[in-house]
């Protein structure tokens, strides 16, 4: 028998409010902790109920004027926490503004719950104001869609709302669907119709719902994921694309294989990491000898990786790992959900000659990864030569003076793209977060930074510049949150004192400038936005079109330079502003403010 909402709280006099309160009770019980909303009339019951949940400390509420910013803020919160965040909008174009974030969440496998308010059925299809066809608006990008009928005045079926909330969380986490379909996290939509009265005062919140337990939010497919056993061979490489995670590094280490890890892979560390993988893939002595590639994540930052995976004679194994689509440019790869390494290979290239009695095959295998690692180290030389510490301590005054002059010269040196990404890489530590926008600078970082186990994020699902500031803000807020969210055994550590640093190009920043806005009472993360300003989209300089297009047309429609004062922009939104033109100024800015601060770094074309 269905339970009446009055069993948990007094009726408000508005079916919309009663439903909204109960829905948040059940989402809270299912593990949701963050709600992002943009103001609107049709969604007012959800908004006011969320405000009450925040007031009682049961949910964290974030308000944004722009639904596009709201969607990407929710995306960032979910990226960092692994928990579905809910985003609330009113009807009409407000829903459509979520589309870029929904597509990014779909292609990146990020769990989101869209709570989109709508007109009831009697107001659809008659030209009503702010009314369009909201169901199916996001097409195949959703893991689940429910077009929820307007609740009936005076009664809300708690069992139905509970099932709806749990189903939404389950689908967002990739735990539901066809038994034959592999699990895939992503966005879900609850399109909820509301009739007038659209809200009423919330006199009392419903009591906390019972914890549904580990299985109540939905189970993974009963069919075991396709698992493939792989052995160690001297001509194997492991490719770690975006969001691969530490499993890629572990697999490379167990196989004794070179690890070709992109900068946002979460796997660019360990003894087998090969940061200079692009140059070595172009070298016949290295790339030309590869006969097998095991791919994790979503490679997007080089042309060498897809060329390798399409090359005849290379066996390609793609570990889909819950992604919505397998990365298979040749359309002929073996696609699996996971791999097992049998037998385990020596852990690092340093063991090349250390094992007594090793067979010739063992030595060849270890030499394979050793050559890659050592060649990469010789190619990746820091842009700044390490200071001669002994010279600073010399008894010879001339030697000490020369040392001091070289140090002064170094801190006065103009910032280059390489020195910019290296400075950020050096100053970021495991308790920090580094977010890289879709610009020329992420490719620069991928080419030159060394291995380091730090949290690096980027919107690489579709590699767009949309919502980059909002995403980084969500990552920062989630990384600083406290408490236990109770999904998949993940815990947040209260009091994390790290800094979130976002590196963007000037156009990427301008595309999402509205996300610099924090409204009254909104939480602000410890965030630094570093903009490399080369006055336009110079990433297009590296494309073939730059060689054939007329210079004036190329400038206007591709490079699109914008004469914006970033100082005035920062001041308008209440951010601190710093301009760093030298390495010394940049280093000081990166350690001198926890933000919110906008650091502008002028760069040459």
pLDDT 10s digits, 212-260: 543 333 334 444 457 899 998 889 999 999 999 999 999 999 999 999 9
Q: Are residues 241 and 315 in the same domain?
A: yes
Q: What is the mean pLDDT of residues 447-470?
A: 95
Residue 430 pLDDT class (50, 70, 90 cuts):
very high
The top-scoring range by mean pLDDT among 253-262, 324-333, 496-505 is 253-262
pLDDT tens digits for 549-582? Answer: 888 887 777 778 888 999 999 999 999 999 999 9
Flag whether pLDDT at 291 surpasses 60.
Answer: yes
Rounded distance between C-alpha atoms, residue 111 and residue 322, angstroms: 12
Other C-beta atoms closer than 10 Å to the C-beta of 356 total: 5
Residue 37 pLDDT class (50, 70, 90 cuts):
very high
Other C-beta atoms closer than 10 Å to the C-beta of 181 total: 11
Lowest mean pLDDT among 13-22, 163-172, 254-263, 512-521: 13-22
Q: Are residues 276 and 256 in the same domain?
A: yes
Which among 60, 130, 57 is positioned nearest to 97, based on CA atoms?
A: 130
Spatial neighbors of 233 by CB under 8 A, at least 6 apart, are 291, 292, 365
Task: State whether the Cα torsion 137-34-518-456 is positive or negative.
Answer: negative
Q: Are residues 321 and 369 in the same domain?
A: yes
Please, what's the b/e burial string for 550-568 (b: 16 or more CB within 10 A of its CB; e: otherwise)?
Answer: eeeebeeebbeeeeeebee
Q: What is the pLDDT of residue 604?
A: 87
Instruction: With respect to residue 231, please indicate whether it lies within any of the assigned structural domains.
Output: yes
Instruction: With respect to residue 243, please indicate whether it lies within any of the assigned structural domains.
Output: yes
Q: Are residues 321 and 401 in the same domain?
A: no
Q: What is the pLDDT of residue 362?
A: 64
Domain with residue 311: its CATH number is 3.40.50.1220
Query: What one-character-per-residue DSSP string does 502-549 give?
Result: EEEEHHHHHHTGGGG---TT-----EEEEEEE-SS-GGGGGSTHHHHS
Other C-beta atoms closer than 10 Å to the C-beta of 360 total: 7
Lowest mean pLDDT among 172-181, 211-220, 340-349, 377-386: 211-220
Q: Is 376 exposed, middle or buried (0-12, 13-18, 19+ CB in 10 A)?
A: buried
- Tokens 């793209």 belong to which residue? 417
Domain with residue 517: its CATH number is 3.40.50.970
Q: Are residues 459 and 576 in the same domain?
A: yes
If one counts the domains in the chain, the total is 4
Which among 278, 253, 237 is positioned nearest to 449, based on CA atoms?
A: 278
Q: Are residues 389 and 374 in the same domain?
A: no
Instruction: With respect to residue 514, please indicate whether it lies within any of the assigned structural domains.
Output: yes
pLDDT tens digits for 140-159? Answer: 999 999 999 999 876 788 99
Lowest mean pLDDT among 22-31, 82-91, 357-366, 518-527: 357-366
On the question of a cis peptide bond just before residue 571, with omega within 30 degrees of 0, the verdict is no
Local structure of 105: helix, strand or coil? helix
pLDDT tens digits for 54-87? Answer: 999 999 999 999 999 999 999 999 999 999 999 9
Instruction: With respect to residue 292, please indicate whether it lies within any of the assigned structural domains.
Output: yes
Q: Are residues 387 and 371 in the same domain?
A: no
Q: What is the pLDDT of residue 390?
A: 66
Domain span at residue 544?
Answer: 413-602
Q: Are residues 321 and 463 in the same domain?
A: no
Can you say how many angstroms the Cα of residue 292 is from the centroid of all Cα atoms in its chain?
29
Which among 570, 567, 576, 555 is positioned nearest to 602, based on CA atoms?
A: 567
Q: Are residues 149 and 289 in the same domain?
A: no
In the chain, DSSP finds a helix count (H) and a strand count (E) of 20, 19
Q: What is the pLDDT of residue 506?
A: 94
Local structure of 108: helix, strand or coil? helix
Which ranges constitute the DSSP H helices of 381-416? 389-392, 397-412
Instruction: With respect to residue 205, please indicate whether it lies within any of the assigned structural domains.
Output: no
- The answer to whether 408 and 387 have CB atoms below 8 angstroms apart is no
Q: What is the mean pLDDT of residues 491-507?
A: 77
Q: Are residues 309 and 241 in the same domain?
A: yes
Flag whether pLDDT at 428 surpasses 90.
Answer: yes
- The answer to whether 436 and 457 have CB atoms below 8 angstroms apart is yes
High-pLDDT (> 70) share of the chain, %: 83
- The answer to whether 437 and 458 have CB atoms below 8 angstroms apart is yes
Mean pLDDT of the chain: 86
Q: What is the pLDDT of residue 321?
A: 83
Helix or strand run (H / E) with residue 586: helix 583-592
Flag whether pLDDT at 24 surpasses 80.
Answer: yes
Instruction: With respect to residue 247, please indicate whether it lies within any of the assigned structural domains.
Output: yes
Cα–Cα distances in angstroms (integers) from residue 6 to residues 46, 200, 435, 535, in the given order: 18, 15, 46, 60
Flag whether pLDDT at 33 surpasses 60.
Answer: yes
pTM summary value: 0.88
Q: Are residues 370 and 425 in the same domain?
A: no
Residue 473 pLDDT class (50, 70, 90 cuts):
very high
Instruction: With respect to residue 216, please indicate whether it lies within any of the assigned structural domains.
Output: no
Lowest mean pLDDT among 101-115, 247-261, 373-387: 373-387
Token pair in block for residue 266: 């979460």
Count of residues in the chain: 605
Q: Are residues 180 and 241 in the same domain?
A: no
Instruction: With respect to residue 438, please indicate whether it lies within any of the assigned structural domains.
Output: yes
């Amino acid at each position: 028998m269905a339970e009446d909402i009055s069993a948990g709280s007094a009726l408000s006099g508005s079916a919309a409010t009663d439903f909204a309160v109960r829905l948040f009770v059940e989402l809270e019980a299912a593990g949701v902790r963050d709600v992002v909303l943009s103001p609107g009339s049709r969604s007012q019951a959800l908004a006011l109920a969320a405000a009450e949940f925040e007031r009682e400390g049961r949910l964290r509420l974030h308000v944004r004027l722009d639904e596009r910013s709201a969607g990407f803020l929710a995306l960032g919160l979910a990226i960092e926490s692994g928990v579905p965040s809910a985003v609330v909008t009113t009807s009409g174009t407000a829903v459509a503004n979520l589309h870029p974030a929904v597509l990014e969440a779909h292609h990146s496998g990020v769990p989101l719950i869209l709570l989109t308010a709508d007109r009831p059925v009697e107001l659809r299809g008659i030209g009503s104001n702010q009314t369009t066809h909201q169901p199916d608006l996001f097409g195949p990008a959703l893991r689940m869609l429910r077009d929820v009928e307007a609740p009936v005045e005076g009664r809300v079926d708690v069992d139905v709302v509970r099932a709806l909330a749990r189903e939404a969380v389950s689908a967002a986490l990739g735990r539901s669907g066809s038994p034959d379909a592999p699990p895939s996290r992503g966005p879900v939509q609850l399109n909820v119709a509301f009739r007038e009265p659209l809200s009423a005062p919330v006199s009392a919140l419903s009591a906390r719902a019972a914890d549904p337990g580990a299985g109540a939010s939905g189970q993974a497919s009963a069919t075991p994921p396709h698992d493939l056993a792989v052995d160690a061979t001297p001509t194997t490489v492991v490719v770690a694309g975006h969001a691969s995670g530490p499993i890629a590094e572990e697999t490379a280490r167990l196989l004794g294989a070179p690890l070709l890890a992109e900068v946002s892979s979460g796997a660019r560390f360990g003894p087998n990491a090969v940061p200079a993988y692009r140059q070595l893939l172009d070298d016949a002595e290295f790339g030309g000898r590869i006969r097998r590639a095991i791919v994790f994540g979503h490679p997007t930052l080089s042309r060498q990786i897809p060329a390798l995976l399409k090359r005849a004679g290379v066996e390609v194994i793609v570990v889909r790992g819950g992604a919505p689509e397998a990365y298979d440019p040749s359309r002929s790869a073996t696609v699996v959900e996971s791999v097992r390494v049998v037998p385990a290979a020596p852990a690092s290239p340093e063991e090349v000659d250390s094992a007594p009695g090793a067979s010739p095959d063992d030595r060849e295998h270890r030499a394979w990864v050793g050559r890659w690692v050592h060649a990469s180290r010789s190619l990746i030389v820091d842009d700044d030569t390490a200071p001669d510490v002994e010279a600073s301590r010399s008894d010879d005054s001339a030697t000490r003076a020369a040392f001091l002059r070289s140090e002064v010269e170094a801190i006065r040196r103009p910032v280059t793209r390489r020195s910019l990404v290296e400075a950020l890489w050096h100053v970021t530590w495991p308790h920090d977060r580094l977010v890289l926008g879709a610009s020329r600078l992420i490719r620069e970082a991928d080419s030159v930074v060394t291995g380091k186990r730090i949290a690096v994020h980027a919107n690489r699902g579709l590699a767009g510049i949309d919502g980059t500031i909002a995403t980084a803000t969500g990552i920062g807020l989630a990384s600083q949150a406290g408490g236990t969210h109770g999904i998949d055994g993940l815990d947040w550590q209260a009091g994390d004192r790290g800094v979130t640093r976002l590196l963007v190009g000037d156009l990427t920043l301008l595309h999402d400038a509205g996300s610099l806005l924090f409204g009254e009472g909104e939480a602000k993360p410890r965030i630094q936005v570093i903009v490399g300003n080369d006055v336009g989209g110079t990433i297009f300089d590296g494309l073939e079109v730059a060689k054939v297009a007329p210079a004036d047309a190329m400038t206007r429609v591709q490079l699109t330079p914008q004469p914006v004062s970033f100082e005035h922009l920062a001041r308008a939104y209440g951010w601190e502003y710093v301009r760093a033109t030298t390495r010394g100024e940049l280093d000081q800015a990166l350690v001198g403010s926890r933000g919110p601060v906008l650091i502008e770094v002028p760069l040459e074309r």
